[in-house]
Structure 1
């Protein structure tokens, strides 16, 4: 038997120690009805999810030295439906903020939406065409703190107006923490988002672009969300929206964000785009 050498996307011992208690608690709360114990470790399942996110492959193309794709798929969907992906992301976010000398939860967030092309297998009922950017597919909305760490994710058809994305994100932010008092958005978001924020006790400020600026000019603080999008897209599974269910895309965004934060917390360099 050939010894498994592992992949650059595998979690290290130090990284696994950060998330293992959460996954172990989830598994302990759901004992097998037959008493059977899975022959595959939860760490191996996480390795497979991270590999797929980075490589962008389909389920059936997962390497043979990782758990069978049907096993990985089962746990991925279970964790998605139980919100474990978001729980892990939130745990890591608070730890990254604490390490930076900040409070666990932010007082300011930045919202944005990005339209992404959808693959051919994605149901037409959950996609649309962004009239402004002329992108047929889905719209990925995220709320990040001043460090660019994800707090909330929303995935809808690309034809959905930014107002709906913004209000949904604000609702998720308010449900996750009561500390947020200010939200910055770009000019794609309108009065409806401002009014919804006021109802939640969040002051939504529309950051207007200077009309004299030519090309892309980073806006103070708001550029953090652009940086986050640029980092997330290094996960090849996110370069297009391949998922039949928008919630699956949300889960992949949470896992991608968790991967980034695990590296921040352990001082691990990300594999290069060309090298991995």
Structure 2
């Protein structure tokens, strides 16, 4: 067993939470396969080291005892097989149960972040954000009221936020049938509000800027997703987009949240807030009424107009 000397290494308590969620090794499947040569805990530590410190895959320290190609192979296979998304979803429910909440949230907050793309990002997967004056990619997040991400999507930086938001909301509806309300900034307003309510059954509410606001200001509901974006930027691999594939950019963000959620599960539950956040009044006129979980199957989602024969 190697000595764990890096801040990104898993503790014994974190490994006890994460180990049962990993995919079954190929040698234990009915189809059979070659036994894995390297301990999986070392593989997880190496992936978290790259994500936390922002180094190249070829610069993985030798004290992990694993070739960098093997570490990258696990990172790519778990992403392509859907195992990474499954681990993220299960940890999200575990965190909510750990905090005494319903494992399935009915409210989310949406926002996006534009980041510069390195020279390794191809022209076919990057764009120019005219509002932020950034040439690169844009990250679209959907978080719950605790700031934990439900969905992560990366696109070119050029499209307006309301365009990728349709795809993001559609994915949320397919994976979270209980979702009922979403908050976002004014960029998600307009026709997107009617579209999400008509076709997806999701009530989209916009939180506008204050009339006297000059520069950045903490706003109600939106501060939760802004805090989640700051958590992403703590991992240096996410400060700039270096990935040739968009799916790998999403995988690094998911690894950041997986590390955050595993650490939260090893700590005492967060006590509920005794008083509302300073930027959120105790009572709001547009505050939704208590939402009950749906017991009936949702109505069919209309993908395209029916073709009359």
Mapping 1:156-171, distance limit 5 Å:
156-171=155-170
Partner residue, 1:273: none
Partner residue, 2:97: 98
Mapping 1:94-243, distance limit 5 Å:
94-198=93-197, 199-243=199-243
1:113–1:165 contact (8 Å) kept in structure 2: no
**Distance change >3 Å, CA 128–CA 20, structure 1 → 2:** same
Task: Please state how far the C-alpha of 1:192 moved relative to its aligned partner.
Answer: 3.8
Partner residue, 2:294: none
1:93–1:149 contact (8 Å) kept in structure 2: yes
Partner residue, 2:303: none
1:62 alignment partner, one of 60, 63, 87: 60
2:34 counterpart of 1:36: yes
Using the alignment, how far apart are the partners of 2:45 and 2:175 within structure 1?
27
SS in structure 2 of the partner of residue 188 of structure 1? helix
Task: Please state how far the C-alpha of 1:25 moved relative to its aligned partner.
Answer: 2.9
Q: What RMSD in Å do the two structures reach over aligned CA positions? A: 1.9
1:45 alignment partner, one of 43, 46, 62: 43
**Distance change >3 Å, CA 14–CA 211, structure 1 → 2:** same
Task: Please state how far the C-alpha of 1:206 moved relative to its aligned partner.
Answer: 1.2
- TM-score when scaled to structure 1? 0.91
Q: What do residues 13-71 of structure 1 show as CA deviations (whole Å, max 9, x unaligned)?
A: 211121212214365675785x4312101211111110000110010000001221100
Q: Which range is displaced more, 254-263 or 38-47? A: 38-47
Task: Please state how far the C-alpha of 1:215 moved relative to its aligned partner.
Answer: 2.2
CA radius of gyration, larger in: 2
Partner residue, 2:299: none
Partner residue, 1:274: none
Task: Please state how far the C-alpha of 1:118 moved relative to its aligned partner.
Answer: 0.4
Using the alignment, how far apart are the partners of 2:23 and 2:247 within structure 1?
23
Alignment size in residue pairs: 266
Partner residue, 1:16: 15
Q: Which runs of 5+ in 2 are unaligned?
A: 269-309
2:137–2:241 contact (8 Å) kept in structure 1: yes
Q: What do residues 162-194 of structure 1 show as CA deviations (whole Å, max 9, x unaligned)?
A: 012211221121122111100001012233432
Using the alignment, how far apart are the partners of 1:32 and 1:72 within structure 2?
23
2:47–2:75 contact (8 Å) kept in structure 1: yes
Partner residue, 2:266: 266
**Distance change >3 Å, CA 183–CA 5, structure 1 → 2:** closer
1:142–1:154 contact (8 Å) kept in structure 2: yes
- TM-score when scaled to structure 2? 0.82
